[in-house]
Structure 1
Amino acid sequence: MRSDSHPDFGTGYGDGKQMSSLSIVHKNREESETDIVPRKTYFVGLKELYIEPGYNIRPIDPAHVEYLRDLMMDGEELPPLAVKVTDKGLKIVDGHHRYLAALAANEAGHEIARLECKDAKGTEADLTALQITSTQNKALSPIDRANGYLRMYNQGKTEAEIAKKVKRSVEDVRHHLQLLECGDELIGMVQAGEVAATTAVSMTREFGTKAGAVATEKLAEARASGKKKLTKAAAIPQFNAGKARRLVELMAAFDFTDDGYTAPDDVYLEAMGILAEYREKHGKSELAGSGESA
């Protein structure tokens, strides 16, 4: 029995026999009532392809190249490369590791003369978004993703437009752009996997230009205790919530007037002790004004 929701590929040609390929089904689409649209790809000689230095937002990973080389040598099919026609030839937009893997396979004695390619269409921002979102690529590191967002931002895209193109939230875009403002020391730690990207951003907000030095010191302490990574809790000591509540209770006992304040000695001393502990861990608050004290 024929289903009303599926075309009968056999009816009208081949006397009900199963079709041999999608191309035949598409060729006879009027009879088969199928909805198949072809997308052209081309098999391109390796010598016509080239990599533009610095264009790929992903640093080349030799281990990933070897992995793809082995897949090619085993006869596995890989997705087509995305390329852009230039006056130099076909610039690779997406598929740098696959291209290098093909070269490596040839060096190993396994001939690969051509790679399947398709046109990379759109603006430069679209092509950057393609590199970021392609599911065929090696996962992006936080720094690589941040550099991709920055490239799109420098191409004139707003944070909201970038988020839409890469299918992420505006907050995600904003966070990664802030990551690039953390300084070389912290960025290097993030790239090495020693500090999480969120921790690096939080430390920069907390310590400003001293964040890198603080991170280096805290990471050394973490390693001394047998840990390999600096956590946010270790990087930014949190003030005890109980003591914060106690300080509020103590301040409520202060009597504030235009001439200053008064408080029982024991209340004053306990409050000042909590404030001194806070300053020792976090430094003097930037909210403190420069006016005269009471």
Structure 2
Amino acid sequence: MTKPDFVSLKVAAEKKIHGDDVSKVTSFAVAPHLLEIEEGFNARPLNPDHVAEMSLAMRNGATFPPLEVRVDDGHILIVDGHHRHAAALKAIAEGFEIRALDCRHFRGNDADRVAHMLNSASGLALTPLQLGVQYRKLIDFGWTEPQIANRRGKSGQHVKDMIQLAEADSDVHQAVNAGLISGTAALKMVKQHGSKAGAVIQEGLEQAKAEGKEKVTPKALARSSGPRKPADKFIVAWLIANAQPQGWPFPGETHRTYTMKFQVPNEVAHSDDLHTLLANAASYTTT
């Protein structure tokens, strides 16, 4: 079979030598100062360290994928590539010449722009809370949870969980955004405690700070999110301090039998495990 003769991909695309198997993607060289940021659109807050790394790479000759942009009433707005744009501006401010950035014209509506940003492989990974906020936007645009899951290649439960975190109270969001607790741990608290999750997280944070830690630890959350189980040494101390044994000898016997009374919560009253009963009795009568 004779191979078609062509001298460049441009020729192959324009003459359809390989049909649609070789096509031309148009990009544009746009001066960085003409590119604008759409307020509230970017789900990824700019990371200064990431910007600095990309800026240094640009000065060293590295190349990056084209930015995705859209045009609205004469304004060129960035859809994807906020960190690349910021890196270019940083390099220019430090005396490095960058006359233009490669840009592609994005085609799609407002929901398509959000979905494209979520699936972008060139940006920093989104946190669970950032994902949930964007999923909520898609829901407001009329998308269903299955549609979002299919577009993202994720499970339906993943989408539900991220949206649940996004719909948590502001005190939970503040703790996550401040880096005081991970989104995964915060979601667990929201599932367990609903509107009280923020208070539980705050209590866990206070416990963590008392231990010299800056973030809420799973251990601190476990202590603040449910009944505190006393240690065995505390149970022994409680028995010594609170036990009022009653005993009596049997005629002709060489031992004495004792009985002891203690109170436990109703939810464990059916248990026949002595350790469980004593642990609950110790915590129940001292809280």
Contact 1:83/1:92 (<8 A) preserved: yes
- Report what 1:200 is aligned to: 186
- Report what 1:89 is aligned to: 75
SS at match of 2:41: coil
Deviation at 1:269, TM superposition (A): 6.4
Q: Deviations over 1:135-156 (max 9, x none)?
A: 0001112221111111111112
The 5-angstrom pairing of residues 202-241 of structure 1 reads 202-227=188-213, 228-231=215-218, 233-237=222-226
1:102 aligns with 2:72: no
Tell me, in whole angstroms, the C-alpha distance in 1 between the residues paired with 2:132 and 2:266. 43
SS at match of 1:220: helix
The counterpart of 2:131, out of the listed 132, 142, 145, is: 145
Q: Residue type of the partner of 1:179? A: L
SS at match of 2:139: helix
- Report what 1:80 is aligned to: 66
Contact 2:203/2:224 (<8 A) preserved: no
1:50 aligns with 2:36: yes
Please tell me the root mean square deviation across aligned C-alpha atoms, in Å.
Answer: 3.3
Deviation at 1:121, TM superposition (A): 1.5
For the structure 1 residues 141 and 81, does the alpha-carbon distance in structure 2 shift closer, same or farther, using more than 3 Å as the test? same
Q: Residue type of the partner of 1:99? A: H
Tell me, in whole angstroms, the C-alpha distance in 2 between the residues paired with 1:53 and 1:273. 53
SS at match of 1:53: coil
For the structure 1 residues 274 and 47, does the alpha-carbon distance in structure 2 shift closer, same or farther, using more than 3 Å as the test? same
Q: Percent identity?
A: 32
Q: Deviations over 1:24-54 (max 9, x none)?
A: 5546763x79932222111122243211111
Tell me, in whole angstroms, the C-alpha distance in 2 between the residues paired with 1:238 and 1:202. 17
Contact 1:159/1:173 (<8 A) preserved: yes
The 5-angstrom pairing of residues 203-282 of structure 1 reads 203-227=189-213, 228-231=215-218, 233-237=222-226, 272=266, 274=268, 277=280
Tell me, in whole angstroms, the C-alpha distance in 2 between the residues paired with 1:33 and 1:272. 76
Q: Residue type of the partner of 1:91? A: L
**Count of aligned pairs:** 242
- Report what 2:147 is aligned to: 161
Q: Residue type of the partner of 1:105? A: A
Deviation at 1:271, TM superposition (A): 7.4
Q: Residue type of the partner of 2:105? A: D
Unaligned regions of 5+ residues in structure 2, if any? 230-258, 270-276
Deviation at 1:235, TM superposition (A): 4.9
1:23 aligns with 2:10: yes
Contact 1:194/1:230 (<8 A) preserved: no
Tell me, in whole angstroms, the C-alpha distance in 2 between the residues paired with 1:38 and 1:65. 30
Contact 1:69/1:101 (<8 A) preserved: yes
Deviation at 1:229, TM superposition (A): 3.5
Tell me, in whole angstroms, the C-alpha distance in 1 between the residues paired with 2:112 and 2:146. 14
Tell me, in whole angstroms, the C-alpha distance in 2 between the residues paired with 1:81 and 1:33. 27
Contact 2:70/2:78 (<8 A) preserved: yes
Tell me, in whole angstroms, the C-alpha distance in 1 between the residues paired with 2:11 and 2:227. 67
Contact 2:14/2:24 (<8 A) preserved: no
Tell me, in whole angstroms, the C-alpha distance in 2 between the residues paired with 1:237 and 1:193. 23
For the structure 1 residues 97 and 236, does the alpha-carbon distance in structure 2 shift closer, same or farther, using more than 3 Å as the test? same
Deviation at 1:58, TM superposition (A): 1.3
Q: Deviations over 1:206-236 (max 9, x none)?
A: 3333321221112222343355442164454
1:68 aligns with 2:68: no
For the structure 1 residues 117 and 271, does the alpha-carbon distance in structure 2 shift closer, same or farther, using more than 3 Å as the test? closer
Tell me, in whole angstroms, the C-alpha distance in 2 between the residues paired with 1:81 and 1:54. 18
Tell me, in whole angstroms, the C-alpha distance in 2 between the residues paired with 1:224 and 1:207. 23
SS at match of 2:102: strand
